[in-house]
Amino acid sequence: MTTDGMNNAAPTSLPASLSDYELTQASGRGDMKAFETIYERHHRRVYSLCLRMVANATEAEDLAQEVFIQLFRKIGSFRGESAFTTWLHRLTVNHVLMHFRKRGVRLEKTTEEGEIGEIQDYLQSAADRPRFVDRIALDKAISELPPGYRTVFVLHDVEGFEHEEVADMLGVSVGTSKSQLHKARMRLRELLNKKTDKKTETKKTESKK
Amino acid sequence: MECHAVINSLSDYLDGQNVWISDDEAKQIETHLTNCPTCQNFKLELNEIKIAARELPLHTPPRAMWTRIANQIEAEIAAENGPLRHAQNASGWWGWLRSRRFTFSLPQLAGGAAVAVALIVAAISGIFGPHSGTLNLSGVQTALLPEEDEIKADLERRLNAVNARKAQWDAQRRAEFEQHMTRIDESLKRCRYMLGDNPKDAIQQQMVRALYTEKRQLLEDVERLRW
């Protein structure tokens, strides 16, 4: 691929109806406009996935940028055997996991003390709980999870990977993946309830005034 | 079944009753849930979290991200296929150009002539206009890198030498050269703009340096080949 080729191949505009596969083929030939269209279609999802996994905006931006550069290098190898979105998400997840490994984040051993003991506390005070999970609050709560829980939760519940796939990606057993997910949901529930309790308290205080 | 056991099995129960737990266990959990509002409430909350997780809002990265990606890709491609690599071959860039067979149709020749006229006009206006040099350093005003003034002076010297010979080139060679220079200058302009916004951005600093290096290599090749 040459810079000439890149520019020559770039059309002035691309029909919006072009499929992801057609765009990957054009990008593989160096068509930067096609690659930009792929970016436009998928950058928010890739960035959101990175952000949810690392819980840090600067790091997420760097990772998402690296993912797209890597995507450009590898795009010619996409054969259309799976959905492009699946392929791209897998590429993103692998890149973030590689980042974790380089940074020395231990996913499988990251736990918090007292997690199961909290069930008892919950059982004693579960009568008055919210019926609606605020998505923004949930997003924030995910960022407060320990890395191990967060990764499994994002992969399974947010991105929709199966436990077998999560276990394969993280190099852990299916049992570990299931257990981490359950603990993640429990922790999220607790975090969300704390937030709701705080809101209720604030409202009560304000109404007293 | 005890509350603890039910709660510990709730995720498996929610994720696939027939996959992770037996029918018998599922029935026991259901019986317990019917009679225990606390566990039932727990189940509803975990289920709400599970459903909400699939509908989370997407985040938008800064707009500059695409510019950085595009710049890096262009720089990588240029580094892979740049003129220096051609020049390293025995025949060099000139040899590469000579090895190409140029055949032109009448419209192409007409187009070439138009480009040549445009270049002559641009050169004349360059000579008599406010910017007497033809160096385009992408609107460089203030140095964004500590060594930028030095780099600019070096590039200007090289470009002046090339400009002095450019009139002798044929239209094709001139167009090729201009095309490379314009591409580098445009990237440089974008990167400098980004760097101006955030002068401490190490990636942009690297990009700007890489583009200056690329520009110098192009001019070096032209000088070395005595075009």
What ranges do the domains of chain B cover? Answer: 3-53, 64-224
The string of pLDDT tens digits covering residues B144-164 is 888 888 898 999 888 888 888
Domains in chain A, ordered, with CATH?
A: 3-103 (1.10.1740.10), 117-203 (1.10.10.10)
* Preferred mutation among A7, A29, A92, A123 to probe B, highest tally of B CBs within 10 A: A123
Neighboring chain B residues of A47 at a CB cutoff of 8 Å: 58-61, 65
CB A69 within 8 A of CB B73: yes
pLDDT band of A101, cuts 50, 70, 90:
confident
Residue from the list B42, B49, B58 with its beta carbon closest to the beta carbon of A188 = B49
CB B158 within 8 A of CB B219: yes
Which of B127 and A47 is assigned the larger pLDDT? A47
A147 shares contact with chain B (CB less than 8 Å): no
Nearest to A161 by CA among A144, A178, A147: A178
Which of A198 and B90 is assigned the larger pLDDT? A198
Nearest to B148 by CA among B184, B197, B80, B195: B195
Q: Which residue has the tokens 């304000």?
A: A206
Show the tokens assigned to A167: 């276990």
Are the beta carbons of B48 and A132 separated by less than 8 Å? yes
Show the tokens assigned to B226: 């005595």
Instruction: State the pLDDT at residue B117.
Output: 61
Instruction: State the pLDDT at residue A57.
Output: 92
Of A73-77, A137-141, B114-118, B192-196, the one with minimum mean pLDDT is B114-118
Which residues lie below 8 Å from residue A190, measured CB to CB, with a gap of 6+? A118, A122
CB A43 within 8 A of CB B61: yes
Residue from the list B58, B77, B82 with its beta carbon closest to the beta carbon of A44 = B58
Percentage with pLDDT > 90 across chain B: 22
- Determine if residue A171 is left, alpha or beta; phi over 0 gives left, psi from -120 to 50 gives alpha, anything else beta: left
The string of pLDDT tens digits covering residues A144-173 is 999 999 999 999 999 999 999 999 988 899
Q: How far apart are CA B187 and CA B218, in angstroms?
A: 15
The mean pLDDT value of chain B amounts to: 74
The mean pLDDT value of chain A amounts to: 80
A1 shares contact with chain B (CB less than 8 Å): yes
Residue B123 in this model has a pLDDT that exceeds 70: no
Residue A187 in this model has a pLDDT that exceeds 70: yes
CB A84 within 8 A of CB A24: yes
